[in-house]
């Protein structure tokens, strides 16, 4: 502490004090003088005895003032930050507010019904039963159902369809790929063609007429779609196809490494046995069998890795490769898989059968891409080969050494049309749908709600569907989705907060 910050009591000040009738100088000291005395004692520039002699008080009194000043300083600095118990604002707790909190806890916080009861009991000091929580949710269902049933689905261009199971019962799920709007969330006892056909017919009454659907290889979905929408195209999910072949490649690679390791150990064993002067006939026999086995395992693993790479990065890629060439390469892969089935009979046949039975569905996106590229070529009055070359160029990363060579070639051919056509091709390729990723995303979100309940019930799913469609995204890899709900993305129209749509009034601070 600097001397300029301290008010010292000097002998000059003390000399003007009048005589003390009762002989106690401490009683005559005012608050400011006591403060100055305490600060001087804490500063330590003078001894306590000297301070006491100057003021004609006891050392005990000086220590008392120092303690008082220290406590005041500690309290002042402790209150420099915002106290945890300071009242920030007041929240009026009414019955409607409690109902709103119950609904928000269930869907925003993924709480169970008993968790809601404990929250109200421990944090709000409100006693509420599980039955009351159930009734509050049932009341919200009645308000949410009209929004689910009246939504126009005419804007759904590509729909993703899938099934998710809960306690052995299938839940049929459908969503718009572009917006993520969940237009179907239904629990049933079956997932056959009739079940899916009825669901699709109900959706058609709300304007459901997509250009295409996309799903995995479940037979019920495709058969039901054919019943309800004859002649419509259900694309195959490339993600599930790759999920079938990629584990096989990993398995064969591990088996090849095991064969290499086994051969290496046998060679080491033969070397040690020979150094000890023992017979190596038994080891040599094993080596004779291990070498060709190792060569076959390595060759099979390498071949399968190449086939999987062609499937992933060429056939299923968004590029300018024509549909006909994709089909030829696809058939070649199936043929090569068939020739290798005997080398791994418990894994390769399953992959080959799945790919062979669903070639047209898996490559449906490529057929549509061909048609769209042809339309762009006609619009810009250029050769379709140039448009394909442009799509191939965009498929290469910006750091790829061949990208700029391709771009220079395309620029030279297109001249002034390069930038406009480049942007058009980029928009087109960004909209290509090869996998039902949106459905997998929704299924992962549904799991976090399903695991709390053995019995779902149609009412709970009705309310959950409403929440998923009208709850706004807090973050997204696509900036245009941030702060918007799937319903807003589908229709292009804004709507109130989902709790306000259920009849609740949101709290706002003054």
Q: What is the pLDDT of residues 408-432, one digit of tens each?
A: 888 888 888 889 998 999 999 988 9
Q: What is the pLDDT of residues 457-496, one digit of tens each?
A: 788 899 999 999 999 998 888 888 899 999 999 999 999 9
pLDDT (mean) for 86-95:
84
Q: Which residues pair with 275 in a beta bridge?
A: none
DSSP secondary structure string for all residues of 74-102: HHHHHTSS--TTS--------HHHHHHHH
CB 26 within 8 A of CB 54: no
399 contacts: CB under 8 Å, gap ≥ 6: none
CB 38 within 8 A of CB 9: no
The total of other beta-carbon atoms located within 10 Å of residue 7's CB is 11
**How many angstroms from the chain centroid is the CA of residue 401?**
33
Q: What is the pLDDT of residues 13-50, one digit of tens each?
A: 444 344 454 567 777 788 888 888 888 888 888 888 88
- Kindly indicate whether the domain formed by 92-235+459-510 is annotated with CATH number 3.30.420.10: yes
Q: How far apart are CA 453 and CA 352, in angstroms?
A: 39
Q: Which residue ranges make up each domain of the chain?
A: 3-78, 92-235+459-510, 238-362, 365-430
CB 273 within 8 A of CB 280: yes
pLDDT of 454 > 70? The answer is: no
Residue 2 pLDDT: 42
Residue 40 structure tokens: 């001087």
Residue 407 pLDDT: 86
* Residue 23 DSSP SS3: coil
397 contacts: CB under 8 Å, gap ≥ 6: 403
First to last CA, the chain: 43
Q: How far apart are CA 279 and CA 285, in angstroms?
A: 12
Residue 10 pLDDT: 45
Q: What is the pLDDT of residues 199-240, one digit of tens each?
A: 999 999 999 999 999 998 888 999 999 999 998 889 999 999
Q: What is the pLDDT of residues 257-287, one digit of tens each?
A: 999 999 999 999 888 888 888 887 888 888 8
Rg (CA), the chain: 39
- Does 330 or 5 have the greater pLDDT score? 330
pLDDT of 177 > 60? The answer is: yes
Q: What is the pLDDT of residues 119-129, one digit of tens each?
A: 999 998 899 99
């Amino acid at each position: 502490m600097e001397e300029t910050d301290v008010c010292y009591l000097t002998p000059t000040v003390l000399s003007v004090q009048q005589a003390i009738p009762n002989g106690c100088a401490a009683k005559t000291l005012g608050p400011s003088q006591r403060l100055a005395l305490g600060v001087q004692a804490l500063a330590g520039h003078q001894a306590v005895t000297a301070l006491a002699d100057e003021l004609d008080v006891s050392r005990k009194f000086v220590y008392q003032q120092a303690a008082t000043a220290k406590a005041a300083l500690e309290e002042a600095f402790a209150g420099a930050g915002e106290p945890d118990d300071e009242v920030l604002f007041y929240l009026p707790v009414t019955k409607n507010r409690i109902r709103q909190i119950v609904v928000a806890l269930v869907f925003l916080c993924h709480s169970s019904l008993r968790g809601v009861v404990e929250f109200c009991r421990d944090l709000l000091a409100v006693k509420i039963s599980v039955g009351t929580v159930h009734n509050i949710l049932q009341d919200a269902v009645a308000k949410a159902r009209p929004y689910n049933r009246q939504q126009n689905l005419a804007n759904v261009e590509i729909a993703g369809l899938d099934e998710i199971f809960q306690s052995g019962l299938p839940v049929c799920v459908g969503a718009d790929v572009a917006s993520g709007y969940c237009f179907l969330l239904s629990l049933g006892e079956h997932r056959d063609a009739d079940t899916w056909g009825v669901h699709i017919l109900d959706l058609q009454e709300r304007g459901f007429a997509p250009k295409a659907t996309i799903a995995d290889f479940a037979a019920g979905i495709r058969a039901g779609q054919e019943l309800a929408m004859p002649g419509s195209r259900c694309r195959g999910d490339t993600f599930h196809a790759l999920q079938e072949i990629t584990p096989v490649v990993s398995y064969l690679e591990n088996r090849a490494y095991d064969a290499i390791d086994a051969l290496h150990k046998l060679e080491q064993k033969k070397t040690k046995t020979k150094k000890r002067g023992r017979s190596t006939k038994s080891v040599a026999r094993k080596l004779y069998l291990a070498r060709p086995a190792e060569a076959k395992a390595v060759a099979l693993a390498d071949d399968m890795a190449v086939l999987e790479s062609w499937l992933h990065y060429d056939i299923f890629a968004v590029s300018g490769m024509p549909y006909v060439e994709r089909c030829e390469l696809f058939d070649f892969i199936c043929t090569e898989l068939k020739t290798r089935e005997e080398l791994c009979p418990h894994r390769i046949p399953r992959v080959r059968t799945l790919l062979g039975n669903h070639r047209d569905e898996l490559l449906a996106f490529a057929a549509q891409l061909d048609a769209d590229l042809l339309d762009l070529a006609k619009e810009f009055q250029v050769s379709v080969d140039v448009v394909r070359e442009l799509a191939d160029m965009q498929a290469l990363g910006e750091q790829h050494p061949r990208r700029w060579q391709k771009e220079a070639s395309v620029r030279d051919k297109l001249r002034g049309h390069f930038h406009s056509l480049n942007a058009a091709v980029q928009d087109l390729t960004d909209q290509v749908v090869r996998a039902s990723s949106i459905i997998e995303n929704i299924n992962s979100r549904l799991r976090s709600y399903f695991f709390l309940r053995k019995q779902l019930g149609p009412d709970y799913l009705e309310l959950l569907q409403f929440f998923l469609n009208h709850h706004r995204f807090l973050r997204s890899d696509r900036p245009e989705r941030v702060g918007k709900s799937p319903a807003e993305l589908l229709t292009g129209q804004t709507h109130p907060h989902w709790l306000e749509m259920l009849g609740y009034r949101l709290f706002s601070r003054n």
